[in-house]
Amino acid sequence: MNKVQIMGTGSYVPPRIVTNDDLSCIVDTSDEWISSRTGIKERRISEGEDTSDMASKAALKALEQSKVKPEEIDLIIVATSTPDNFIPSTACLVQKNILAVNATCFDISAACSGFVYGINIATQFIRTGSVKKVLVIGAETLSKVLNWEDRSTCVLFGDGAAAAVLSESDRESILAICNGSDGSKGQYLVSKAVPVVNPYTDKKDIDVNVNSYVEMNGREIFKFAVKTILQSTEELLEKINCSMDEIKYIVLHQANYRIIEFAAKKLGVSEDKFYVNLDKFGNTSAATIGIALDEMNQKNLLKTGDKILLIGFGGGLTYGGIAIEW
Ligand code: ACO
């Protein structure tokens, strides 16, 4: 089987910073409530850029850092819950924007686990030898599916995109993978698509008020998150035969600082081992882990040989983890 190396990373967030105080002018909330319950201080909100625009910008940065030309990319995978369209896929729009003329392109829907799922899929394609270079992107414009009158959800999320270039190599970056889903809990985090309306449907059964607003049962998500973080951490450590001491960083999906705090306590690990940037960007769903990884990379926090765990959890419900050697 071929080895897989992460060649480089990139990220992009829209320039408009929206602070907790800014939100308190829109809904009945406060910096104190949001900071103390979530750790979020500010987020970036699109002033018009859609998911493919941000994804393309992150992709170009990852390609530049990797010294890979767009035409060398064989596959583009975009993880998103907020695509520009049903058709064409966001990945096809990115292909057009960055001129990755030789790529096959598709989107995946795994909500906040999307970036980890994308790396997993890319790894399988490269390992079997069917492709050599893959662009994995997590990108979201959550601001377009938020109910800006619902204080319990609109304060949590932000917009942004992140990308990584994975390539066949003589060095192995992907040490272990784990993932899973529990569709029976799907109702705890929902953003609906359009209802079935056609000449053959019974109009009286159709909810004409359907919208795509994010609806969430925060407490159930919290429980699922903590359970799957612990489970994924144990499974990854066992698979790579390492102790926690040998792990330099754990990069969790950046949903809520309380989840990170709770997971650290349960695992008996210092909070310093967890990379956190949700204070600046909020929850960007499929993009959080990639944005964090790129930020760590830009800050030179990652040295060759460092072992890192990436763990995502989210709508579906889904979860996934990857152990990486940088
Ligand atoms: N500002 C002020 N008050 C608020 C706000 C707000 N932004 N949002 C909710 N409240 C109020 C509610 O109206 C409620 O008031 P009431 O008691 O008078 O009815 C009170 O605060 C408590 O509301 P809950 O929704 O029960 O708040 P909870 O304590 O559960 O905290 C939170 C919400 C922070 C989201 C919590 O459930 C949590 O940590 N969840 C973890 C999951 C998560 O972060 N999900 C986000 C994304 S999903 C994902 O990424 C997978």
- In angstroms, the CA 244 to CA 199 distance is 59
Mutate to test the pocket of ligand 1, among 18, 112, 219 (most ligand atoms within 8 A of CB): 219
pLDDT along the chain (326 residues), means of 10: 96 98 97 97 98 98 98 98 98 98 98 98 97 98 97 97 97 96 97 89 77 94 96 97 96 96 94 96 98 97 96 97 98
Location of each CATH 3.40.47.10 domain in the chain: 3-170, 175-325
287 lines ligand 1 (CB under 6 A): no
Asked if residue 189 has its Cβ within 6 Å of ligand 1, the reply is yes
pLDDT at 198: 87
Q: How far is the CA of 189 from the centre of ligand 1 (A)?
A: 13
Full-model pTM: 0.96
Q: What is the pLDDT of residue 294?
A: 98
The CATH topology of domain 3-170 is Peroxisomal Thiolase; Chain A, domain 1 (3.40.47)
CATH code reported for the domain at 175-325: 3.40.47.10
Is the Cα torsion angle 63, 310, 247, 133 positive or negative in sign?
negative
Beta strands in the chain (DSSP E): 3-12, 17-19, 42-44, 75-79, 104-108, 133-141, 159-169, 174-181, 189-190, 215-216, 249-252, 307-314, 318-325
Which residue's entry shows tokens 């662009």? 135
What was the pLDDT predicted at 325?
97
The ligand 1 atom nearest the CA atom of 258: 39
Give me Rg for the CA atoms of the chain. Answer: 19
pLDDT computed for residue 81 by the predictor: 98
Cβ(259)–Cβ(278) under 8 Å?
A: no
